[in-house]
Amino acid sequence: MTPHKTQTVAYVRVSSTDQNLHRQLEAIGPVDRVFEEKLSGGSRTDRTALAKCIRYVRDGDVVRVASMDRLARSLRDLRDIVDEVAGKGATVAFVKEQQTYGRDAEDAMGQLMLNLLGAFAEFERSLIRERQAEGIRIVKDSGRYLGRAKKLTPDQVTEARELVATGVPKTVVARKLGVDRATLYRALVGTPSPTQALEDPAQAAPH
């Protein structure tokens, strides 16, 4: 039987708002194969690329990951994934933490380091989420949080048409009504005023 040729593979995870794939691959370095996950969160069952990576590796292979938080979302998840890879005789190498874990490295100190570093990574993610939530609260309190675009009421659309008809710039009208210019333009184009409808013979004529 032909002996297995050991390989080094990369596991990278990016989301639609976190496009750092190039930075991860640059940190990981040359590998034989890349497993890319495009997922910002979700459960373990949603991570199809991770499942393929674990199925792919064989005894002696190395799975390189840019950092622990790219591989797992919690300490328990981290331990489970490392145990699965190690159970196949492969090792997991974390570039940022400069740590490698596998079947031959399950000593007490190695397990302690894995738990400590995983806990720090989980704590760091919690702090980031808290800072993001706090930032959103601050912006909301200052009245600058966009979220879903504000819509104009029929009365506001009528007021906007009257102001524009008198020569007031649309930018000024939008600012006065508390919406962006795109919202104002859509409102002006999408709902003609009753006066305009009567004045337009094409719209007034019966079909």
Pairing of strands 91-94, 62-65: parallel
Provide the residue type at 54 as one letter. I
Respond yes or no: is residue 67 known to be catalytic: no
Catalytic residue, chosen from 15, 67, 74, 126, is 15
What dihedral do alpha carbons 77, 82, 84, 89 form, nearest 10°?
Answer: 180
- CA-derived radius of gyration, the chain: 28
56 touches 34 (CB < 8 A): no
The secondary structure of 168-190, three-state, reads: CCHHHHHHHHCCCHHHHHHHHHH
Give me the active site residues, please: 15
